[in-house]
Amino acid sequence: MAREQRTPLSIIPPGSAFVLTADLRKLEQASLGAFLAQRLGHAGGAGKFATLCGFDPVARLDQLAFSVPSAGLDAQEHPEDFGIVASGRFTAAEIMRCAKAATAEHGGETVQTKLGSFSTARDRKTSGEVAARDGGPLIVSGGGYFRELLDAADGHAPQRDDARDARHVELRRSLGPGPIVATWVLGEGWFERVSGGETNPRLSPLSALEAVGARVDVASDIAAKIASLLGELRSSLDALPLDPALTGMAKRVTVSQTGARLKLSLGLGQSELSPLLDLLLGP
């Protein structure tokens, strides 16, 4: 019997603090897709992976989900608790060979085993693990979260309700579908951790945020969409406690597109540089 194909997002266990999904096939087909793929490939070392593995694993991926289970202190104490789930056109044997080659490249020692329907590989010296099965998914994770992801992929995850999941669903529904969508349910005291305790949270309106989301569209009319977004932002600038000169500058930003490149333009006079430099460098 053929195994039911599930999306990477559906495998993410309940209660995640941060979730990002990417439809890599849609990104490839977009007008800016080739440009982004090239830049991300150079940044992520995809070319080196292709040499080590004998194929480009990134080019074989169709959809991807990245999650962090906690935004609180536990996340700082256990940075290995993260999850990457991807679907694509690969076999478990290909991924295991690739993982072994990558581990050897860094002087590690690969330990391979079987967990449920998955072939897994890990470096004996580190906590991160890779799991794959024919037809997907591919799972990269660490700590106890790795087993949670494998159980979820095999359909053995315990069912539990979590209020954070409802917030993620609500945010994704309001954002709508897109090739890249990210949602973050902020934990208590998130602003103090991000600001390093240097800012009194009671004085910042950001401390009242409970959840945020973003959608990235990569389409032929992206310049028009960004221009529309800038227009919406301009309409709210007067409500922000900014220097009047900075507000005026922000309202004059224009956007244009040439091929795969976006250009944001702003003309500045000498008198306008002073508040901008004060903001960037301090008075």
- So what's the pLDDT on residue 54? 85
Looking at the structure, do residues 142 and 27 belong to the same domain, yes or no?
yes
Looking at the structure, do residues 188 and 110 belong to the same domain, yes or no?
yes
What type of residue is 273? L
Looking at the structure, do residues 153 and 240 belong to the same domain, yes or no?
no
Looking at the structure, do residues 152 and 258 belong to the same domain, yes or no?
no
- So what's the pLDDT on residue 272? 67
Looking at the structure, do residues 199 and 268 belong to the same domain, yes or no?
no
**3-state DSSP assignment of residue 188:** coil
Q: How confident is the model at residue 15 (pLDDT cuts 50, 70, 90)?
A: confident
Q: Which domain holds residue 14?
A: 1-218
Asked whether residue 227 carries a pLDDT value surpassing 90, the answer given is no
Asked whether residue 221 carries a pLDDT value surpassing 80, the answer given is no
- So what's the pLDDT on residue 4? 56
Looking at the structure, do residues 168 and 31 belong to the same domain, yes or no?
yes
Looking at the structure, do residues 266 and 209 belong to the same domain, yes or no?
no
Task: List pLDDT tens digits, range 54-70.
Answer: 888 888 889 999 999 87
Looking at the structure, do residues 202 and 248 belong to the same domain, yes or no?
no
What is the 3 state secondary structure string of 204-260?
CHHHHCCEEEEEECCCCCHHHHHHHHHHHHHHHHCCCCCCHHHHHHHCCCEEEEECC
Asked whether residue 178 carries a pLDDT value surpassing 50, the answer given is yes
Mean pLDDT to the nearest integer, 37-45? 53
The tokens describing 15, both together, are: 């209660």
Mean pLDDT to the nearest integer, 246-273? 71
Asked whether residue 180 carries a pLDDT value surpassing 70, the answer given is yes
Domain boundary among the residues 218, 239, 256 is at 218
Looking at the structure, do residues 282 and 185 belong to the same domain, yes or no?
no
Looking at the structure, do residues 144 and 248 belong to the same domain, yes or no?
no
Residue % of the chain over a pLDDT of 70: 64
Number of neighbours of residue 229 by Cβ within 10 angstroms: 11
Give me the chain's average pLDDT, please: 77
- So what's the pLDDT on residue 1? 37
What is the C-alpha R_g of the chain? 22
- So what's the pLDDT on residue 243? 64
Looking at the structure, do residues 190 and 227 belong to the same domain, yes or no?
no
What's the maximum distance between 2 C-alpha atoms anywhere in the chain? Answer: 72
Domain boundary among the residues 173, 200, 218 is at 218
Question: Between these two residues, 257 and 84, which has the higher pLDDT value?
Answer: 84
- So what's the pLDDT on residue 46? 56
- Number of domains into which the chain is organized: 2
Asked whether residue 53 carries a pLDDT value surpassing 80, the answer given is yes
Q: How confident is the model at residue 86 (pLDDT cuts 50, 70, 90)?
A: very high
Q: How confident is the model at residue 73 (pLDDT cuts 50, 70, 90)?
A: very low
Asked whether residue 146 carries a pLDDT value surpassing 80, the answer given is yes
Maximum average pLDDT range among 2-16, 190-204, 251-265: 2-16
Domain boundary among the residues 218, 249, 274 is at 218
Residues 6+ apart with CB under 8 A from 187: 17, 70, 71, 72
Maximum average pLDDT range among 175-184, 207-216, 229-238, 266-275: 175-184
Sheet of 138-142, strand order = 110-115, 118-123, 128-132, 138-142, 83-88, 61-68, 18-23, 180-185, 211-216
Mean pLDDT to the nearest integer, 179-199? 74
Asked whether residue 2 carries a pLDDT value surpassing 50, the answer given is no
- So what's the pLDDT on residue 76? 45
Looking at the structure, do residues 132 and 244 belong to the same domain, yes or no?
no
Residues 6+ apart with CB under 8 A from 152: 11, 12, 13
Phi/psi at 58 (nearest 5 deg)? -65, -40
Strands 138-142 and 128-132: antiparallel
